[in-house]
Amino acid sequence: MRHLISIDDLTDAELRRIVDRGAEFSAGLARRPAPLDGQVVGVYFAKTSTRTRTAFSSGSLRLGGSLIAYGPGDLQLNTGETTEDTGRVLSGMLDVLVARTAGPEAELRGWAQQGTMSVVNAMTAEEHPTQALTDLTTLVRHFGRIDGLRILYAGEGNNTAAALALALTRFPGVHFEVRTPPGYGLGESIAHRARAQAARTGATLVERHDMDGLTGGYDVIYTTRWQTTGTSKPDPDWRNVFAPFRITPALWETSPDAVFMHDLPAHRGEEVVAEVLDGPHSIAFAQATNKMHSAMAVLEFVRTAAKAEEPAKAEEPAKAEEPAESAELGATPSGDRTLVAAR
């Protein structure tokens, strides 16, 4: 079975495959052979979600699947059933389970201990892998590449930052600079794994706990909200600790061509000022839309891999537009770079 619980579950080739496929969906170039036709996707969110829940729900339906949604009080986990038993039961009725727990990754690993249902991590305490895949899809759509990009991340070293560190360090020449307040950095395991990957690929991971000595020349300036979903901070003065990491227009003085990214929801005036979030450099809302396209690529990936083991069925081929044999980058009238079919 194919699961996606961590970025580390993917090979380099699989990571690029999902990102490129998401970019194809986003550009309208992807053929849709309805890989979820006849399949049922369960969407379980124990914590709030707007983008991720809607992205996987809409993506499942667009790929031909049926949908069952579960809220935080719907499963017998609340009455003491084990994660493994819940996964075993659901696997007899679902083909995919997309789950946000905001708890330990081990919960999803428990659900994955069966042989028929794909499990997709829609956010745990340690990592938010589908957000990173969305972000990389957005980078490909805007720049046409990931290799060699210079990315500044400022704010909390949360599960989004963790997934970005694990994903971006797979790409040669990437410079990923993480600036976090003291005590709010990347987890030790995440940082160790990301640095090992950077050493292998020629990427660079820098982590500091101040906003001094920024080199500028960034292609991307990224932040997330300071109060991560499902968490709280023990320090009552934490907002003052985070204040120096607020994203303001001053950062563009040395990075005039940088785009601004945010995984949303945003709190204007806290992690980012409105002038940046709503300004001409922001691609945060295009990034949010790409979450659906990336979700479709993830669903296609986990189920196509599973279907490859099934006997071939005799059926009429789907009537769909043939996929473009290749693609190249072109500029839209607005100046954004996008994928266009090569003729």
Examine the domain organization and report whether 84 and 52 are in the same domain: yes
Percentage of residues of the chain with pLDDT beyond 90 = 78
* pLDDT attached to residue 306: 53
The domain boundary, picked from 286, 304, 321, lies at 286
Q: Identify whether the C-beta of residue 2 lies closer than 8 Å to the C-beta of residue 301.
A: yes
pTM: 0.87
Is the pLDDT confidence value at 337 over 50? no
Asked whether the bond before 265 is cis by omega within 30 degrees of 0, the reply is yes
Give pLDDT tens digits for 2-58. 999 999 999 999 999 999 999 999 999 977 678 999 999 999 999 999 999 999 999
Domain count, the chain: 2
Judgement on whether residues 319 and 273 belong to the same structural domain of the protein: no
Closest alpha carbon to 44 in 106, 114, 107: 107
For the chain, counts of helices (H) and of strands (E): 10, 11
Query: For position 83, what pLDDT does the model report?
Result: 85
- Stretch among 31-45, 54-68, 89-103, 221-235 having the lowest mean pLDDT: 221-235
In CATH, what number is assigned to the domain containing residue 134? Answer: 3.40.50.1370
- Look up the domain containing 265 and give its range: 129-286
pLDDT at residue 271 tops 60: yes
Mean pLDDT of 215-243: 89
Residue 343 has pLDDT above 70, yes or no: no
Residue 340 lies in a domain: no
**pLDDT for residue 228:** 73
* Mean pLDDT computed over 272-290: 98
147 and 82 assigned to the same domain: no
* DSSP states of 185-236: S--HHHHHHHHHHHHHHT-EEEEESSS-S-----SEEEE--SS-TT---S-T
Q: Is residue 2 one of the residues assigned to a domain?
A: no
pLDDT at 322: 36
Nearest CA to 128 among 256, 193, 224? Answer: 224
- Do 266 and 316 lie in one domain? The reply is no
User: For the residues 265-291, what does the mean pLDDT come to?
Assistant: 97
pLDDT tens readout for residues 148-203:
999 999 999 999 999 999 999 999 999 999 999 999 999 999 999 999 999 999 99
Does 336 reside within a domain?
no
Check whether residue 168 and residue 109 sit in a common domain.
no
Per the domain annotation, does 12 fall within a domain? yes
